[in-house]
Amino acid sequence: MSKFRILLVALALALGSYTLASAVAEMGSSDQPTFPLDPAAISAPSFRVPDWLEVLAPFRSDLEASNALAAALQAIQSGKKNAPEASIEVLRAQERVRQVLSIAPYNPELWLALALLQAQRDPRDPLLSEALKMTYFTAPNDAQLMPVRLDTATSFDALADPDVRDLVRGDVRLMLTRTPELRTAVVSAYRRASNLGRTFLEEAVQSIDPSFALNPRR
């Protein structure tokens, strides 16, 4: 057999392998989960991500991104329940998210998931601030992500970073002036915020809309 025929056979096998792997990954995947407008409502997807899909990441990075996000939400949910295996699951999900981001760094949902995972492991780690920054750089005006990233930034010490503080202030401005349906999310973030977060929100709201009540009477 000539070298040319060998090359053609090798190419055909490679294309066939790609097609098969892509088809299998498509069948094993589900729709990409999304972050709720209420951060307290973040929950694990109803489906469980099969471990074998990880080996197909080189073939379909888009599907692996969706599966990595689902795995991250599952780990976050486990962490909330203080399950015994939660820390291991969080670490594994974090590594999986970082692996996907290394080949698809433009995915804002994964950066936000990475920030949430890091908040569960160690909110004082600079990775939390860096991941939050990337959610803003990749999706600065995504209203779907604003409530969760505002809640995350104000609940921990990420606001100690001046860049994060400026970015979060931009979200607050948009939420109060251009997306009235998200104004209640600012109040919710204030109620769950750390002392630093509350002070920041009070100052930000005062400069943007002094008439807005952060702690309305019930």
The per-residue pLDDT for range 68-84, each reduced to its tens digit, is 898 898 888 887 766 66
CB 100 within 8 A of CB 61: yes
Query: Which of the following CATH numbers is that of domain 32-208: 1.10.3470, 1.25.40, 1.10.10, 1.10.8?
Result: 1.25.40
Both tokens of 10, joined, read 């090798």
DSSP state of 140: T
**pLDDT tens string 83-116:** 667 788 899 999 999 999 998 899 999 999 999 9
**How far is it, in rounded angstroms, from Cα 100 to Cα 29?**
15
Both tokens of 33, joined, read 């989960």
**How far is it, in rounded angstroms, from Cα 210 to Cα 53?**
50
Whole-model pTM: value is: 0.79
Q: How many residues does the chain have?
A: 218
Beta strands in 126-207 (DSSP E): none
